[in-house]
Structure 1
């Protein structure tokens, strides 16, 4: 199975999750790359693509916005994809921060919607938690990411 893991990372947290996903799918024909490097040729023959971004103001990063703008309508038709993001949990935050996180939400649902508009079939979406704005990734999240990836791959 040919699997791509396409991500962007600002503080290194989303990259850490991307590397955990790669570890989980080791043994397949897997490739890890930044969103800014992806072109349509990279997607040829892919059986599954994981797309991951940090959450900034409830949205995906500018690099993903630019990637989506580069992809023609329908260019992801027939592509199976899973989306993930990294974000702060609502729990344990101050009143204002908690309300901001709840109000703006997470990036992965918005990324999933944008990828679906390009033709991708979204199989799953997940948010992995980091401590504060800059991280680090909370304990147990890389293990949870590996289990998530293994579960998705096992269903294909």
Structure 2
């Protein structure tokens, strides 16, 4: 069973969540984890049965070139104490989905967002799921948000929740395949 976890990450939290999700998925098949700006991402997706795709929430949805540029500006502000991920510059999840030549039959979507009421922050995961299903993929589970504090800190409990969600995604995938 080919499983690929692809993510976009600005400051590292979404990458850490993606890796935890991949750990939860490990019992269900070979899992490849890659950043959207890593050439392995599209290659692994071509042979995957399941794509788990996620990114940070910017302006209530998926990142845009302008919001990614703003993240770069934040990283340059020493008072914010943020470090931009090595593969943060480049394409985002939104553009990556549009450029995908082959979308796996099954998918799941996740995001990271600030720990506030969702009506105030939005959630990229629902937009990611919509974009994937519009391309013909079937969501195996509801989209999920993982929470980051206002000072950009990921709580350890969120990593545990991400591993557990990864396991739930794997179980849901098996149900789709066996029915």
Quickly name the TM-score band, shorter chain normalised: 0.7 to 0.9
- Aligned partner of 2:95 in structure 1 is 66
CA offsets, 1:22-51, max 9 Å, x none?
222235211011112332x42233121110
How many angstroms apart in 2 are the aligned matches of 1:35 and 1:111?
13
Equivalent of 1:145 in 162, 165, 176: 162
Structure 1 runs not aligned, ≥5 long? 92-100
- Aligned partner of 1:20 in structure 2 is 20
How many angstroms apart in 1 are the aligned matches of 2:129 and 2:115?
20
CA offsets, 1:110-134, max 9 Å, x none?
11111111111112210000001x5
- Aligned partner of 2:129 in structure 1 is 112
Does 2:111 correspond to 1:85? yes
How many angstroms apart in 2 are the aligned matches of 1:12 and 1:130?
11
- Aligned partner of 1:127 in structure 2 is 145
Q: Of Structure 1 and Structure 2, which has the larger fraction of its residues in helix? A: 2
Query: Contact 1:3 / 1:46 at 8 angstroms: preserved in 2?
Result: yes
Q: Provide the aligned C-alpha RMSD in A.
A: 1.8
CA offsets, 1:57-92, max 9 Å, x none?
1111241122123135xx42x61110000001226x
Query: Contact 1:50 / 1:83 at 8 angstroms: preserved in 2?
Result: yes
In the superposition, the TM-score normalised over structure 2's length comes to: 0.72
In the superposition, the TM-score normalised over structure 1's length comes to: 0.82
Evaluate the alpha carbon distance shift between residue 82 and residue 7 of structure 1 in structure 2; reply closer, same or farther with a 3 A threshold: same
Q: Which runs of 4+ in 1 moved over 6 A?
A: none
Q: How many matched pairs?
A: 142
How many angstroms apart in 2 are the aligned matches of 1:17 and 1:104?
18
